[in-house]
Amino acid sequence: ISTVEEMQRRSPMLRQDGRSIAFVPTMGFLHEGHLSLTREGRQLADILVVSNFDNPTQFAPGEDFATYPRDMGKDRLLTEKVPVDILFTPDERAIYGDGCQTFVTPQALAKRMCGLSRPIFFQGVATVVAKLFHIVNPHVAVFGEKDFQQLTIIRRMVKDLNFDVNIVGAATVRESDGLAMSSRNAYLKPGQRAAALSLSQSLREAQAQVAAGLIQAEQIVAGARARIGAHPETAIDYIVIVDPETLEEVAVIDRPVRMAMAVAVGTTRLIDNMPLVP
Ligand code: PAF
């Protein structure tokens, strides 16, 4: 389905037939990480809708919207395998018409971590996800834990704006060497792999340190900074240990928390996170 009208006609028909709808929003260039979200969605409802929409409002001028990897032909083949019932592929005009004057602007949760270096990102995400929820009208929607701040913000938006949608977070899927799957991994040059792997390695090291009894967040973050910073082509945007609901930084790990980071490897911005459980 490529039109908003057709999607908005189909969804109530499915609901009237007593079918439950699971929804997985994506920006395309699907990889195993997306497929695990869709497989999760498949289990959760009768009908699985996947959207493939490159959302321009979550990219600032100068970010990689123009070059963001795309391959609709491959995406179609992959979604056939899951299988997906409805692939919703609106274009920019279908979603934003001749512009958009009304936005959903997340507050405090969006003003930290990725929100500091990407100040319009979460407004663009929240706006498009709200629009897609109105159009697809799902019972349940699945988001990856890899974008942990995004998942937290969507959960909060659903609560604050009374969407009747159950949000499910799905575990991050990793390459066999530990690199979190991401469409942007396609930008990495072969020689940058070791630097890219330092993110997941430092997170695992932090998990081991916490399991061994270290509870000072500052010390754990310093260790991760040293490990990642040892690779000259990395530039750390942030490394934080936060409360998983408020995303506020914690000093002492006396309860389950989340360690999250954004690091540029060359020109590729990577994010990753893992839980730390004392
Ligand atoms: O995570 C993504 O791929 C995007 O941010 C989303 C949720 C599809 C909104 O464009």
Q: Which pLDDT score is estimated for 218? A: 98
Centre a 10 Å sphere on the Cβ of residue 122 and count the other Cβ atoms it contains: 26
Cα separation of 202 and 111, whole Å? 25
Closest Cα to atom 5 of ligand 1: 125
Q: Which pLDDT score is estimated for 69? A: 87
The pick from 127, 129, 158 for probing ligand 1's pocket by mutation, whose C-beta has the most ligand atoms within 8 angstroms, reads 129
Positions of the chain with pLDDT under 70: none
How far from 2 is each of 8, 53, 84, 87, 210, CA to CA, in Å?
A: 11, 10, 15, 8, 48
CA of 150 to the centre of ligand 1 (A): 8
Q: Which pLDDT score is estimated for 235? A: 98
103 within 8 A of 123, measured Cβ to Cβ: yes
Cα separation of 196 and 263, whole Å? 8
34 in active site: yes
47 within 8 A of 21, measured Cβ to Cβ: yes
Q: Which pLDDT score is estimated for 206? A: 98
Q: Which pLDDT score is estimated for 161? A: 98
Coil, strand or helix: which one is 96? helix
| Ligand 1 pocket, residues with Cβ under 6 angstroms | 25-27, 55, 58, 125, 128-129, 147, 150
